[in-house]
Chain A
């Protein structure tokens, strides 16, 4: 029996860490979605442990890719072959699973983006810049405040008969407007539905401003689980929205696919191996560089007893010894 070739994708985001394993036919063998809880290294190690236990014995990891805001960190911990930004990763994943996609709406924990695809390549994109209104964290907070489990949030919104209008321009104003509507006696369902509509309006006016949204529209990211938001998007755009099966881990999937492509070009994986990731002690320490008046805070990641990577310098003095930077240039 020949061993199965497996590719891993790791997405370290601000709110969640996702790990997926795919085979050569892009079939998902296992996926893990855990909260970052501000401790990316420990949680990532735990996620890797879970992934190792999920995969059948005897599989061979042939490649690993990382993405998300913590991609550099994750790349050092797992020793990744490919380090890619989340826009490219999401674009690749959507195109793989929904080949005729022309627009991707992605709403994650702390950022939201729109990716425009034409003829199978990314042709334009935008990310939210200043405001967190409309992202997963905000919805989470409102659900907690209304004492509704976040999983039920969308279903409740669909029950609404006459949604109220919520000011969605800013997270703080949206919250006070919601409270105001509550005190007026509006029903919980109507308020939630109103909030979903406000968030969609806000997204389309900010992130989606000036972008040509054409079907097929794919909606991904953790918030895509919310049927209320999904419905609001469909009403605002007038198109049917496709939510892919693995909507919540599309970034990680993209990273895995990119790793697969990279390895298929004849490269050998640098993956550390599950055991070594778990055994190795990763610690970080930071210090202030006194080279100039910038006083950059330099963070060092130490793997075992050697410095694995450094971040944070503006001038490049410290990143020059950065292994991940070299790796990235090797990938390019």
Chain B
């Protein structure tokens, strides 16, 4: 059995670590490139959302490297993601690929099927082993996100433009050849140190932008056209509302304190939307309000073209802007997105926030003179 999985940001580090620890052979899909998207677009229904297409591209590229089993998470939420595993299975079957697909739906009611699937994947490993491997994987998720957070802070402040990203690039190269959660974790920790040493400009107070929106587009840099990097280049400090670590904490861990905090933020959306309408629409609204209250300069919503839950959120966000006064911009990505227009919008948005900050500072100065 050679197992593969779709890419989603840094998730491959944790999945690889976990499967290595369980002694399962893994094929990491090659990094997402133009070719991945091309394969996915060709083989998927045209109306499918972008993540599905990229998943398909990942599978095919992994199968080319010898993978024969695919694992993917499922979902019972009212969003198309719930059908991903099943539809993808059909697509691959129609194409004549002889691969096995193990779909991990959340074990809301059917624990038995869930356990059976884990057994199928983990083979003879003891439950203690499985639990430990899972625990170590969640530590990888946590530390990898901490590493990215350092990068977000550094990019906005680095003295030599590009320092942070060249270090991250070196990390990606180095971690690719590691085996087992221990080695992967060590590499992450090493690079956390290396990234912390990026020289910062003294006394800068960069613009702060919060990212909200659909989870896959937020987490996978290829899909959001490296928005964090681009904003960092424009001197902006980025805050991410949804990360893999956040998702794990809310859905898979027993961190009650964090779950309560999550719910407290969700409650902020109550005047606008007070239930889950699928995907992360609820979180998008709640986090936009939360960021406004925290005093961030702006909020950017990102979603794949045709994402129903996020479209619901998009139509509510102008009201949030009206009530809270923090500018919000929506960006939609799909396989047709042109990079130039995307960057123009980001640049214009950053200019807008800068002007706004300056005029606020002027007002403050004036009030000092008057008072």
In contact, A87 and B31 (Cβ under 8 angstroms): no
**Binding-face segment, B112-120, B239-247, B281-289, B337-345:** B337-345
Give the residue name and chain of the B residue nearest to A320 (CB): B162
Q: How far is the CB of A140 from chain B (nearest CB, A)?
A: 21
Q: Which of A119, A122, A329 is B233 in contact with, Cβ under 8 Å?
A: A329
Is B359's CB under 8 angstroms from A123's CB? no
Q: In the complex, what's the smallest C-beta–C-beta distance from A262 to chain B, in angstroms?
A: 13
In-complex Cβ contact of A127 among B36, B341, B351 (8 A): B341
A69 to B348 Cα, complex, angstroms: 13
Decide: A127 and B345 in contact? CB cutoff 8 A: yes
A163 CA / B336 CA spacing, docked (Å): 36
A121 touches B235 (CB 8 A): no
Interface size counted on chain A using CB atoms at 8 A: 29
Closest chain A residue, CB of each to CB of B354: A332
Q: In the bound complex, do residue A121 and residue B352 qualify as a contact, i.e. CB atoms below 8 Å apart?
A: yes
Contact with B along A125-163 (1 / 0, CB 8 A): 101011000000000000000000000000000000000
- What would 12 A/B residue contacts be, using CB atoms closer than 8 Å? A85-B347, A85-B348, A121-B359, A125-B352, A292-B33, A293-B36, A294-B33, A294-B35, A314-B226, A325-B161, A325-B233, A329-B233
Judging by beta carbons under 8 Å apart, are A125 and B348 in contact?
yes
Which of B162, B234, B336 is the one whose CB lies under 8 Å from A316? Answer: B162
Q: Is the CB of B34 within 8 A of A293?
A: yes
Interface status of A120 (Cβ within 8 A of chain B): yes
* Docked CA distance A119–B233 (Å): 28
Q: Are A120 and B165 in contact (CB under 8 A)?
A: no
Within 8 Å of chain A (Cβ to Cβ): is B169? Answer: yes
Assess whether A87 is in contact with B162, with CB atoms less than 8 Å apart.
no
Closest to B38 in A: A293
Q: Which residues of A sit under 8 angstroms from B351, Cβ to Cβ?
A: 84-85, 87-88, 122
- Asked if B42 is an interface residue, CB under 8 A from chain A, the answer is no
A25 is an interface residue with CB less than 8 A from chain B: no
Q: Establish whether residues B344 and A332, one from each chain, have CB atoms under 8 Å apart when the complex forms.
A: no
**Closest residue of chain B to A316, judged by CB?**
B165
Known contacts A127-B345, A329-B233; decide if A315 and B34 are in contact (CB<8 Å): no
List of B residues within 8 angstroms of A129 by Cβ = 332, 341
A125 to B350, CA, bound (A): 12
Q: A85-B348, A125-B348, A125-B352 are in contact. Are A292 and B31 (CB under 8 A)?
A: yes
Contacts beyond the supplied A85-B351, A88-B351: 20 A-B pairs with Cβ under 8 Å: A84-B351, A85-B344, A85-B347, A120-B359, A122-B348, A123-B356, A124-B327, A125-B352, A129-B332, A129-B341, A292-B31, A292-B33, A293-B30, A293-B31, A293-B36, A294-B35, A315-B169, A316-B229, A326-B161, A329-B161
Residue of B nearest to A330 (CB): B161
Q: Is B318 an interface residue (CB 8 A)?
A: yes
Beta-carbon nearest neighbor of A211 in chain B:
B318
